[in-house]
A and B are shown apart, each in its own frame.
Chain A
């Protein structure tokens, strides 16, 4: 092969590629941008929805997924990731997208149950046999207990963990804001490492073997047990915890531009259908449809509105710069 032949070959190859590139199929597609622990749920659900959509309209629809920390995903959508629907860990992250004008105000009233088609809660994952006898939130602040939870600044799940602990302390006899702050401060003193996302924390606890207890989404805890062996871990459901409502929304600006509003809206509505509820239950989310059976343990649940007056307020008080979380971790670091 001489040099000129080589150059021609390279040029021809690049040209062929350049012509092949725009040939990506132009089928009906939806992009669902979601948070970390929903990978398995939405893989399953999107499949069911594609079949449902084909049956009712005869159209083929492909649902693409993207997963990551809830706050990070919201940021990506704001920066131009073309999500038709967002299914995030908490309303605050969808509010952030709304503030940039991509989602119309009042999005949370568009679907029932605050636009949360299923709920979850925060439970404890402990090592088999529960060697440290962890039963309730109280046990987490005992000296010598190592607690694994992600960073509330970046992870939606971590914010639920934090607020669940705060809410618990608030509900105790003589509980007030000061006592709750003291409780949560003690709790975070027992945290050796703050991962950036829920799945990262699960891996820290499960794979790297760090910590005595993992604060986790209920479904994440069950998934870890199913994937990595019931002989190694067990779930402790505390007597009370927070009701986590991960909301969903259509990204108005994107669906109007792409012409996918109808299918995007139907996608979210289908989450409320018996089939959608059944799939949620199968992946250890708590269905809102009471007729759908669930194997999950009963416990006392409080909502963020009851305990904190909504996400905007909770976010501002606890997780903004210089907020309560910064104060207590600052205190924990100074110790």
Chain B
């Protein structure tokens, strides 16, 4: 009993000598915790307490509202279209960038990062300028009765745009670190391109992909600014969950508003947990075998 305690004490003193003195460490930790408490935990608690203010019954009733269900459905559809598309694109882009050299590679990396640096509102005004009735493609779209802005396709487009970099950005450093040795070995041993990709590359980046998908999905479901411009705010049709939260709040329907907010908060928590688990796998460097 006493022996491990001693070792432990010895180790922590050893650590403190090469890091900061104890009061500084305590101060830093306390500051970080207070900050987290004020800006993350308290608001989160407030969301849930407001949502359940009038009891579980009212909370569930709020979630069963047709407009709420429609917003959940739209949010799920949007994520279900945007995430797989970005998955395919992200893997392709990362593969091209990490495993090959070609002219314009840096330009491609910059373009992938663009949605991070452009305000979502501006990117969406561009969609309105392109696809809106007064826009470049407006007359063509109207003549063929294709609706893009102020309809579901516009919302999906906007979401794809803002979630575009997540998977590619996650995979590029991972694939660059892994290098091309394994792929080259596979090719030398007679595998063709597709075989190399599915048998060698993909298993190596599996956890990175799932990690990217989780982040991409969280953003796709939670995006507000980007979809706000192109939504048109039609009840039960083009309101995603984040948009409906704002609308209900403005209608003094606080319980309903916070009920949906609580769903989004739960999504965030699930994302966080999944992310932590995955990070463990990624840090170990050894992907878990699943067979």
Contacts and interface: CB of A to CB of B under 8 A. Distances in A.
Contact of A100 (B77, B87, B134, B290): B134
A199 B250 contact: yes
A223 B291 CA distance: 62
Contacts of A21: 77, 152
A12 to B, nearest CB: 11
Interface stretch (B16-24, B165-173, B182-190, B227-235): B227-235
A10 B149 CA distance: 27
A68 to B, nearest CB: 6
A199 B131 CA distance: 29
Instruction: Give the contact-size bracket for chain A.
Output: 20 to 34
A36 B250 CA distance: 9
Interface in B135-159: 135, 138, 142, 145, 147, 149-150, 152
Contacts of B206: 3
A3 B236 contact: no
B236 A80 contact: no
A79 B132 contact: yes
Nearest to A206: B252
A82 B150 contact: yes
Given A39-B251, A66-B234, A79-B134, A17 B291 contact: no
A39 B84 CA distance: 36
B273 interface: no
A228 interface: yes
A80 B150 contact: yes
Interface in B91-119: none
A64 B132 contact: no
B140 to A, nearest CB: 12
A209 to B, nearest CB: 16
A76 interface: yes
Interface of B: 77, 80-81, 84, 87, 128, 131-135, 138, 142, 145, 147, 149-150, 152, 198, 202-203, 206, 232-237, 247, 250-252, 290-291
Given A21-B152, A80-B132, 18 more contacts: A3-B198, A3-B206, A10-B84, A13-B80, A17-B77, A21-B77, A39-B251, A64-B237, A66-B232, A66-B234, A76-B150, A80-B150, A81-B150, A82-B147, A100-B134, A200-B250, A223-B252, A228-B252
| Nearest 8 A/B pairs, CB to CB | A80-B133, A79-B132, A227-B252, A81-B150, A81-B232, A66-B233, A14-B84, A80-B132
